[in-house]
Amino acid sequence: MNFQERKKKILAALDDTESLSVFELAEILEASPATIRRDLGDIAEEGLLIRTHGGAMKMENPVLTGFSEKSGVNNPTKEQIAEKAAAYVQDGDIIFLDCGSTVFQMCRFLKKKSIRVITNSLPILAELIDVPSIQINLIGGELNKARKAIHGDKAVQHINGYHAHKAFIGVDGLSAENGLTAHSEHESTITTAFIRNAGQVMLLCDASKIGKDSYVKFAELSAIHTLITDADAARTAALRQNGLNVEIAG
Amino acid sequence: MNFQERKKKILAALDDTESLSVFELAEILEASPATIRRDLGDIAEEGLLIRTHGGAMKMENPVLTGFSEKSGVNNPTKEQIAEKAAAYVQDGDIIFLDCGSTVFQMCRFLKKKSIRVITNSLPILAELIDVPSIQINLIGGELNKARKAIHGDKAVQHINGYHAHKAFIGVDGLSAENGLTAHSEHESTITTAFIRNAGQVMLLCDASKIGKDSYVKFAELSAIHTLITDADAARTAALRQNGLNVEIAG
DNA sequence: TTACTTTTGATCAAAAATAATCAAAATTGA
DNA sequence: TCAATTTTGATTATTTTTGATCAAAAGTAA
């Protein structure tokens, strides 16, 4: 077994269990601890996991690898949310698509529509470029290589030059108290611009992010027209009491 | 069995199983390991699979790497022009890169430089995205799928928001009488914007286009600082008489 | 703190895979 | 047809990867 294969398996194993020891991984992969240590060091350097003494921990927000955006593939929950969200899109619509794995999953459900997509996400661009019925408007600006997306002032200016019927966005945290929160300023400014320039804003958000707060607080709950989530009624009760329209997928 | 057939079978085999060893492939294709290695090297260079020690892995999403331009690869003339042009680029430069196959060829000669690239070309984006020393600013606007480039008013506005030390551009026709000409309005407006906002303009142009005129006349000869071409002295005489600085590659 | 255990990183030799070279075979073009 | 070119497969030298060993560093417990 070579490094690439082991890397894949290590990341898959860490996706299930939060953390693993060097020896556990050595047994799973049938390799020596020395090899595992070398692998973990290399993978940690890529930012795909967190190295600990004695093993490794899952990285909560892994840098997207390649343009594949694997996280979410084979994730039935994200797929269900994405499918539900895509159902809101009608032929003739002009839509904003945010970067993020759940929004990315919408692509496969959009391919039969005749729409115009405005996005800052390279994975979405790559996924939709071969669809003849979809026109793409790419947001310009500084390329964030790690996130495979365009960020920065220029990008916000670009978005401000357009109005879309609907925006499909993601967040890192959502709560009745703090509204929408994100890990980074860069992402939140883009998402804010989408919200400002769209007629209707759909927030795609899996249950794990509801009730959690992240670093940057960037929008009120009232900015959102519909939350599409897999979370059950109990979990979204507080949000609904604040007037948020919630659609449960799955 | 020839290379094209084996390539097809290798990619098909990798579609089923995530990864295969050189020896497994050698058995499947009834070829020697040496041949398989050569094939894998070539296919990996196209970006259609990932080469590993001992074999190859399936490429998750070859779409963006599929942007990678093929025309011009194995074209020694274009390569020579591109190499000469790349020699004008210094560390710290901010450069505009136009779309077009000759300019695209510059990428391989730019990978060791520390520069900032502003471009509307997706193949260039795909080629340079993994180079840590190069920062990319992507020009936003309408995506022209056929040309794998961004065009339109928004793109021109975007370019007008920047100033670069150097612009590397292409044309469809170049003559002493009519200056720079292009096939399409869309491309010419972008190229014009590059010219307007760059300190120095380098025109990359192979001999076949010199003395020819195309449809849209979009810039005077005087807009160009240096023409880099493979054409001989006789062919460029008229241009030089009009004050154009000509650098002959090869 | 100190003693003890665990983990790590460096080094090295063995094994595996590769790149380079070259002659034979196949293909191509005149 | 024959010569020239390209492709292939075998051989060999080089590189990469691996697992073992061991001293140093980090963590743990008294």
Query: Which residues, given as ranges, of chain B have pLDDT below 50?
Result: 62-63, 70-74
A90 & A188 share domain: yes
Q: Which of B62, B81, B99 is the C-terminal boundary of a domain?
A: B62
Structural domain tally of chain B?
A: 2
pLDDT truncated to tens, each residue of chain A (250 aa)?
788 888 888 888 887 788 889 988 998 888 889 899 999 988 888 778 888 888 898 876 554 444 444 444 446 788 899 999 999 999 999 999 999 889 999 999 999 999 999 999 998 998 898 889 999 999 999 998 878 899 999 999 999 999 999 999 999 999 999 999 998 888 999 999 999 999 999 999 999 899 988 889 999 999 999 999 999 899 999 999 999 999 998 7
Size of interface A-B (CB pairs under 8 A): 95
B159 & B225 share domain: yes
A225 & A194 share domain: yes
Name the nucleotide with the smallest C1'–CA separation from B52. Answer: C17
* CATH code for the domain of B119: 3.40.50.1360
Q: Is the CB of B33 under 7 A from strand C?
A: yes
Walk across the sheet containing B226-229 and list its strands. Answer: A149-151, A141-144, B134-138, B115-119, B94-97, B164-170, B198-204, B226-229, B245-248
Q: Judge whether A78 lies within some domain.
A: yes
Q: Reduce the DSSP state of residue A16 to 3 states and report it.
A: helix
Q: Which residue is nearest to nucleotide D27 (CA to C1')?
A: A53
B135–A158 C-beta distance less than 8 A: no
Neighboring chain A residues of B139 at a CB cutoff of 8 Å: 140
Tokens of residue B46, six digits: 């196209």
B76 & B23 share domain: no
| Predicted local confidence at residue A66, as pLDDT | 43
A12 & A95 share domain: no
* CATH code for the domain of A19: 1.10.10.10
Compute the nearest-CA separation of B230 from chain A (Å): 34
B115 & B217 share domain: yes
A141–B137 C-beta distance less than 8 A: yes
B183 & B230 share domain: yes
B199 & B173 share domain: yes
Contact status of A4 with chain B (Cβ, < 8 Å): yes
Q: Judge whether A22 lies within some domain.
A: yes
A101 & A146 share domain: yes
B61–A67 C-beta distance less than 8 A: yes
Q: Which of B17, B45, B62 is the C-terminal boundary of a domain?
A: B62
Q: Judge whether A201 lies within some domain.
A: yes
A168 & A52 share domain: no
A143 & A45 share domain: no
Domain span including residue A232: 71-248
Compute the nearest-CA separation of B37 from chain A (Å): 16
CB-side exposure of B217: number of CA atoms within 13 Å?
9
B204 & B105 share domain: yes
- For strand C, which residues in window 42-61 of chain A come within 7 Å by CB? 51-55
A135–B142 C-beta distance less than 8 A: yes
Q: Which of B31, B62, B93 is the C-terminal boundary of a domain?
A: B62
